[in-house]
Amino acid sequence: MKKYRVCIFTPVSFGAAVLMFATAVLMFVAAVLIFATVAVAENAGSGEFVQLVPAKSISWSVNSKPIAGLVKRGGNAVFTAERNEIAAQSGKGGKEGDTFLCTEKEYSNFILQFDVKYDIECNSGVQFRSSITDINKIEQLNGYRCEIVPKNDTANIFDMNRRNRFLTEPTAELQAKINRTFKRDNWNEITIQCVGPSIKTWLNGEKISDLFDLESNEGIIGFKIPSGESGQVRWRNIRVKELPVTPWLPLYAEKKLGAVETKPVGKWEILEDGSLKGTTEKGQPKDGMILSKESYKNFAVKVSFKIISGNSGLYFRAAEVDKPHWMKGFQCEIATGSADGDNAGLWEVEGRGWVARNVKLAKKIFKQNEWNCVGTTAIGDRLVTFLNGWKVVDIVDSKCAKEGKTGLQLHGGGDQGCLFKEYYIMPLDKNAVELIEK
């Protein structure tokens, strides 16, 4: 005997049916709008460009709530939407400070593109890999800023509320190039690309900035309008493509040796504060050495150090040898006393000796009896070293080794002692290198 499923329909009035249909339509439209405004979060890591603002005109204000993944921070400037543009009008000045339209999401590696135009000229910019800081009880951003000014410095990189200086020297030649390229009465297209330690910018297709820096690897994006009686800027076509993350990996951090091993010379101990203390005895002819278990081709590496006595070094792209110094290859110098001008210089062990250094700058920025941070990026033939946030050496060296280990040295031949912490490496794969070198 066949069985039949019986469906029972409950009658409703025509008006109720219309109401139900209208409610469903409104819910669908609302869902579409919600999806449009949070597209950045939903498409994170998709490898495609995503608009940070809706493509079509909608009525909104950032003075009260986040819209399209963007939220107002800082001063009292006004942001409004007109067609597919964002118009930013300066605040009244005084103690209010600059105002920023910020992403709520943090970005690490990405390509950001946008068009910008002045209605009333002022000093604007776009913060990236930035964080919120409190200055005189007013929210402000600290981190990298792509300058947007009527002339000279647009697309150059300034480090705001940290080092407070340009990271690429604004030479007369660079500023002349920017002036030739910038359109004062029209739209300008700006591209910012961040891949690991590499930061690049383009203005209307012309490359302006091409630098390495190790200060921060992720943060929010914020579109700036300054405080003041005048100033109005427009942005449109704001779009971002997220790229694969290149994280810092600990070689020695958090009280663990992790991805490093020690040679059988010297004494290594972890102190209560988590730092690593290395010492060698007087008369010991061999170096003390802590080195990575892995070899690396293209990367950034950094370590914080405080010298007790003697000198040390940060090896990279180095090879193991059965000799008192254990390693041969490049050493980013760590020194104190009369040799403190050698810090972050490049010395090639069992090779050319000094390849590059900047004694005058290193002496100026080295901090005696304090913690210092030294770092290196090695990408192909380009080698860049840093000391306490300053670029010390930037060379292209076709003779350099292309792969090897990284390590920390305690020089033999006397009483040697050094403290280390925050020893990190950032490996860069083929795809990251291709973007950096393009």
Element (H, E) at 360: helix 359-365
Report the b/e string of 225-254 with b at 16+ CB within 10 A. Answer: bbbbeebbbebbbbebbbbeebebebbbbe
What are the Cα distances from residue 348, in Å, to 150, 214, 231?
45, 23, 53
Q: Which of 32-36, 71-75, 111-115, 377-381 is predicted least confidently? A: 32-36
pLDDT of residue 8: 34
Bridge partners (DSSP) listed for residue 130 = 220
Query: CA angle at residue 84 from 55 to 208, to 5 degrees?
Result: 100
Residue pLDDT, tens place only, 158-182: 999 999 999 999 999 999 999 999 9
Report the b/e string of 189-221 with b at 16+ CB within 10 A. Answer: ebbbbbbbbbbbbbbbeeebbebbbbbbbbbbb
Read off the DSSP letter of residue 326: -
Asked if residue 22 belongs to a domain, the reply is no
Helix (H, G, I), strand (E, B) or coil at 284: coil
pLDDT of residue 3: 43
Residues 225 and 339 in one domain: no
**End-of-domain residue from the set 221, 242, 263:** 242
Residue pLDDT, tens place only, 234-260: 999 999 999 999 999 999 877 777 788
DSSP3 helix / strand / coil % (the chain, rounded to 5) = 15, 45, 40
- Per the model's pLDDT, the better-predicted residue between 271 and 23 turns out to be 271
d(CA 185, CA 117): 7
Q: DSSP string covering 134-175, please? A: EETTEEEEEEEEEEE-SSS-TT-EEEETTT-EESS---HHHH
Asked if residue 421 belongs to a domain, the reply is yes
Task: Say which residues have a Cβ less than 8 Å from residue 177's Cβ, sequence separation at least 6.
Answer: 206, 208
How many domains does one find in the chain?
Answer: 2
Amino acid, single-letter form, for residue 154: T
Residues 119 and 80 in one domain: yes
Asked if residue 258 belongs to a domain, the reply is yes
Asked if residue 2 belongs to a domain, the reply is no
List helix spans (H) across 188-277.
none
pLDDT of residue 69: 67
Domain range for 275 is 249-437
Amino acid, single-letter form, for residue 120: I
Residues 287 and 317 in one domain: yes
Asked if residue 115 belongs to a domain, the reply is yes
pLDDT of residue 29: 37
Asked if residue 358 belongs to a domain, the reply is yes
